[in-house]
Amino acid sequence: MHDLKELRTKVDYYKQMLSKRDKTLVAIVDEILTVDQKKREIQTKADELRKRKNEIADEIGRSKGDSAKVETLKKEGSNVNNSLAEIEKEEINLNFKLTEKAMWLPNIPADDVPEGENETKNKEISKWGNPRVEKWIKQHWEIGTQLNIFDFERGVKIAQSRFTVSSGYGAKLERALMNFMLDHAAEKGYKEIFPPILVNKESMIGTGQLPKFEGDFYKCENEFLYLVPTAEVPLTSLHRDETISLDQLPLKYCAYTPCFRREAGAASKDTRGIIRQHQFNKVELVKITTSDKSSEEHEKLTKDAEEILQKLELPYRKILLCTGDLGFSAMKCYDLEVWFPAQNTYREISSCSNFGTFQARRINIKYKPTPKDKPQFVHTINGSGLAIGRTLAAILENYQTEKGTVLVPKILQGYLGGVKEIA
């Protein structure tokens, strides 16, 4: 969410920056400012009526001996109360309308984010590793089925499409990856959290998931609780409505959770395999920091996620997203894309985003630079460290042998009791 006072004083700047994302956002800015102007006009009228109401009360107190004047004042007071009640209703409606419109306005992109309409304008920052290009490598779902570690049919039987049963070494590899990723995060100074996987509406709104992406989430029918789409939601919400002391910052959290998404906008994408599931496992990294350390901490978090891929010896590339591909709440985002040799392409496995104060304003997290200073909004940062299912799929393709087995990455062998090969 944006600072409305700043939006009023820097209208041209906001329009210019938001139009880099989507030119239609300029109209939303105008709508917000129109409602804001009406709200402030109503507030002025309400304040005048409240002032007159107090004046009438004082005048009645001073006119107790003059019954005619008191009666006249009481009648005026009644009219003022009626007018004030109507105006206060309008004030409430305008406040609601203003908040609702403001919730649909995305973050402004950072100055160094490349401008572009879609992913074709994303900027490649770096590459790591040597991608395999052998023609015989099978898709991850083919080798996974052959090794009896995926059961797609039983996933559909139990639930529906885009749910998969992992068994044997499929299940063990997911657990090994989870433990490895959490251990890596701990080495980097992240505090492990095991949060609820049901979160309330306030947590979803605060992190920018709602109202924009309402159709993409699973929620309880009779309660305002949602299954987490990512551990970013509960981790960031840990400090909602809090003011954090400077000496506690940066806060660094990690968490494993299953994640749930309807994938409403991807009905025909990645229908095979485990790349795009309704339920998937993920380890998330979250930082809460100050404005002056924000960029530095974002780079560090991205590096922490990169090191997981390096330890797994999986080739990947780092992409800086352009304005048209940037997430709703992010002001800057790096995507880490791992190599899938059977598809002959890189696929996103982690998005590492800096949200600036955008989430903090929605969720009300502040800090005090000094005890005497006015509280300021923190900056929030997060990234996948990593998406476990996609990491497993990448291992199955990158570590295949011609004899139809899959080698276990060295870093994971200890988590699997020394097993070096899955056959």
- Residue 207, pLDDT > 60, answer yes
CA angle 20/21/23 to nearest 5° reads: 75
Quote the pLDDT of residue 283: 98
Quote the pLDDT of residue 268: 60
State the average pLDDT for the chain. Answer: 94
Q: Which of 58-62, 107-111, 188-192, 235-239 bottoms out in mean pLDDT, i.e. has the lowest?
A: 58-62
Please compute Rg for the chain using Cα positions.
Answer: 27
Q: Please name which of 284, 256, 231, 264 lies closest in space to residue 162, comparing C-alpha atoms.
A: 264
419 and 386 Cβ atoms separated by less than 8 Å: no
SS3 111: coil
Residue 186, C-beta contacts closer than 8 angstroms, at least 6 positions apart = 192, 254
Structural tokens at position 303 = 């590096």
DSSP output for 278-338: SEEEEEEEEEEE-GGGHHHHHHHHHHHHHHHHHHTT--EEEEEPPTTTS-TT-SEEEEEEE
Quote the pLDDT of residue 86: 93
Q: Provide the b/e sequence for 244-269 (b: ≥16 CB within 10 Å).
A: beeeebbbbbbbbbebbbeeeeeeee
189 and 286 Cβ atoms separated by less than 8 Å: no
Between strands 332-340 and 345-354, the pairing is: antiparallel
317 and 128 Cβ atoms separated by less than 8 Å: yes
DSSP 8-state code for residue 219: B
76 and 17 Cβ atoms separated by less than 8 Å: no
Strand spans (E) along 4-58:
none
Q: Please name which of 170, 178, 127 lies closest in space to residue 393, comparing C-alpha atoms.
A: 170
Q: Which residues are registered as beta bridge partners of 200?
A: 225
Count other C-beta atoms under 10 Å from residue 23's C-beta: 11
Where does the pLDDT of residue 264 fall: very low under 50, low under 70, confident under 90, or very high at 90 and above?
low
290 and 249 Cβ atoms separated by less than 8 Å: yes
Q: What is the mean pLDDT of residues 241-262?
A: 96
Quote the pLDDT of residue 307: 98
| Global confidence as pTM | 0.92
Quote the pLDDT of residue 372: 85
Between strands 242-245 and 279-289, the pairing is: unpaired
Which residue has tokens 């409240």? Answer: 50
What confidence tens digit (pLDDT) does each residue in 23-60 have?
Answer: 999 999 999 999 999 999 999 999 999 999 999 988 98
- CA dihedral of 15, 17, 20, 26, whole degrees rounded to 10: -20
274 and 303 Cβ atoms separated by less than 8 Å: no
What confidence tens digit (pLDDT) does each residue in 304-350 have?
Answer: 999 999 999 999 999 999 999 999 999 999 999 999 999 999 999 99
Quote the pLDDT of residue 265: 57
Instruction: Please state the separation of Cα 197 from the chain's center in Å.
Output: 15
SS3 110: coil
Sign, CA dihedral 210-214-219-221, equals: positive
Q: What is the mean pLDDT of residues 55-84?
A: 87
Which whole-number Å values give the CA distances from 218 to 103, 140, 200, 255, in the listed order? 20, 27, 12, 20
Quote the pLDDT of residue 111: 95
Q: What percentage of the chain reaches a pLDDT higher than 70?
A: 98
Quote the pLDDT of residue 113: 97
**Integer Cα distance of 159 and 164 in angstroms:** 9
- Residue 266, pLDDT > 70, answer no
Structural tokens at position 192 = 């492990």
What confidence tens digit (pLDDT) does each residue in 149-162 have?
Answer: 999 999 999 999 98
Task: Go through the chain and tell me how many residues it has.
Answer: 423
